[in-house]
């Protein structure tokens, strides 16, 4: 089980540290800031993304999860681009490079552990860009997967793109996923992807929680198949994988219109057969809960630990791949992101 859980909320971050069976909590760190993402920086430390509707999006670097320095050159679009960077939705590391997926949708890369950032112009310059349409959460690039020179990125409500040349050029990867809002000209975008997760041993295997269902691909996104068996709805946000066991975890919600746990029963759904079928994990989870779990608010620590927080500020943890959950102490602001670090390899 992880020794530290990082929780980003709309009003600062909280760090849960475990000693035996006891958790202690530090925070709020960066009070007043939306904390939307955290990741390892590739240089032995961590990077964090924060934002404020007053002061914009910033990046912080820390040697630990509780001591942060605001960096002076966050990702930012050039004025002449016409795009505005409102928020950083995800931070992801590659080999010697760090990526930031942002709203207004685009991708930035840093080759100095977050000190400076460059726009990946091949994505924002994609031929379909003029037809990109925002989802309820904005026009955001919220997931980035990296395997060598291959990069996948997930944009709401546009879809998945892949680059096979380190970000120079991009191709849409949405075949097999029903398009939510069909564009007059570009028929291969308009699918509202909510989350993607890949098998690090075979990056062609990717799972996808979409606005219209759960999907998987075996060919890096060229073709997607629906894998809905056992899920109570097609709608949900987070999707994580315990790579050692291959178990997948999601938290379905009752429809895009209602966005609450079905019948108030907060449930994690688990698949132990690569998504062929799903089963509910109920032990320790409430039957009277009406808060959504947002797309970045779930993590697996790769040692059997599964963690998630909800929009009601409640944090839950399982040490046994979802067999049982416990609610951790504290009633936090709306939880945006959860990551697990420590003892195991973590996020």
Output phi, psi for 257, to 5 deg: -80, -35
> How many C-beta atoms surround the C-beta of residue 153 within 10 A?
30
Residue 240 in the binding site for other proteins (CB under 8 A): no
Residue 63 in the binding site for other proteins (CB under 8 A): no
How many chain residues interact with other proteins (CB under 8 A)? Answer: 22
Which residue among 70, 127, 168, 283 contacts other proteins (CB under 8 A)? 70
Candidate ranges 66-74, 104-112, 126-134, 302-310; the one touching other proteins (CB under 8 A)? 66-74
Q: Which is nearer to other proteins, 55 or 136 (CB)?
A: 55
Candidate ranges 71-79, 91-99, 124-132, 300-308; the one touching other proteins (CB under 8 A)? 71-79
Find all residues with CB under 8 Å of 342, minimum gap 6, and list them.
2, 3, 4, 18, 301
Which residue among 24, 26, 64, 73 contacts other proteins (CB under 8 A)? 73
Residue 84 in the binding site for other proteins (CB under 8 A): yes
Task: In whole angstroms, give the CA distance from residue 283 to residue 304.
Answer: 16
Q: Which is nearer to other proteins, 76 or 334 (CB)?
A: 76
Candidate ranges 67-75, 192-200, 205-213, 333-341; the one touching other proteins (CB under 8 A)? 67-75
Minimum distance from residue 28 beta carbon to other proteins (Å): 10
Output phi, psi for 270, to 5 deg: -120, 140
Candidate ranges 65-73, 173-181, 225-233, 245-253; the one touching other proteins (CB under 8 A)? 65-73
Q: Which burial class, exposed, middle or buried, applies to 62 when counting CB atoms under 10 A from its CB (0-12, 13-18, 19+)? A: middle
Minimum distance from residue 75 beta carbon to other proteins (Å): 10
Helix (H, G, I), strand (E, B) or coil at 124: helix
H/E element, 109: strand 106-110
Find all residues with CB under 8 Å of 285, minimum gap 6, and list them.
265, 266, 267, 268, 316, 325
Residues near other proteins (CB under 8 A): 30-33, 50, 52-56, 58, 60, 70-74, 76-79, 84
């Amino acid at each position: 089980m992880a020794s530290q859980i990082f929780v980003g909320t709309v009003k600062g971050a909280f760090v849960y540290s475990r000693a035996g069976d006891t958790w202690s909590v530090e925070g709020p760190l960066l009070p007043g800031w939306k904390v939307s993402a955290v990741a390892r920086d590739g240089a032995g430390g961590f990077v964090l993304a924060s934002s404020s509707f007053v002061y914009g999006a910033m990046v912080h670097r820390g040697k630990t999860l509780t001591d942060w320095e605001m960096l002076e050159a966050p990702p930012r679009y050039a004025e002449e681009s016409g795009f505005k960077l409102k928020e950083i939705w995800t931070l992801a590391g590659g080999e010697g490079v760090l990526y930031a997926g942002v709203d207004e949708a685009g991708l930035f890369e840093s080759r100095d552990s977050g000190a400076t950032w460059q726009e990946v112009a091949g994505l924002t310059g994609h031929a379909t860009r003029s037809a990109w349409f925002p989802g309820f959460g904005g026009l955001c690039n919220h997931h980035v997967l990296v395997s060598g020179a291959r990069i996948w990125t997930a944009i709401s409500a546009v879809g998945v793109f892949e680059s096979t040349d380190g970000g120079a050029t991009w191709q849409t990867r949405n075949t097999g996923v029903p398009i939510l809002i069909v564009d007059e000209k570009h028929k291969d975008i308009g699918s509202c992807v909510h989350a993607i997760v890949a098998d690090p041993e075979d990056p062609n295997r990717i799972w996808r929680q979409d606005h219209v269902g759960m999907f998987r691909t075996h060919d890096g996104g060229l073709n997607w198949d629906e894998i809905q068996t056992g899920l109570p709805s097609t709608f949900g946000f987070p999707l994580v994988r315990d790579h050692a066991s291959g178990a997948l975890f999601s938290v379905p919600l009752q429809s895009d219109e209602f966005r609450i746990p079905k019948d108030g029963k907060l449930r994690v759904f688990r698949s132990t057969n690569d998504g062929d079928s799903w089963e509910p994990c109920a032990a320790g989870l409430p039957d009277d809960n009406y808060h959504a779990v947002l797309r970045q608010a779930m993590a697996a620590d790769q040692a059997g630990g599964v963690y998630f927080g909800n929009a009601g500020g409640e944090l839950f943890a399982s040490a046994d791949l979802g067999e049982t959950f416990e609610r951790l102490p504290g009633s936090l602001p709306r939880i945006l992101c959860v990551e697990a670090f420590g003892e195991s390899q973590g996020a």
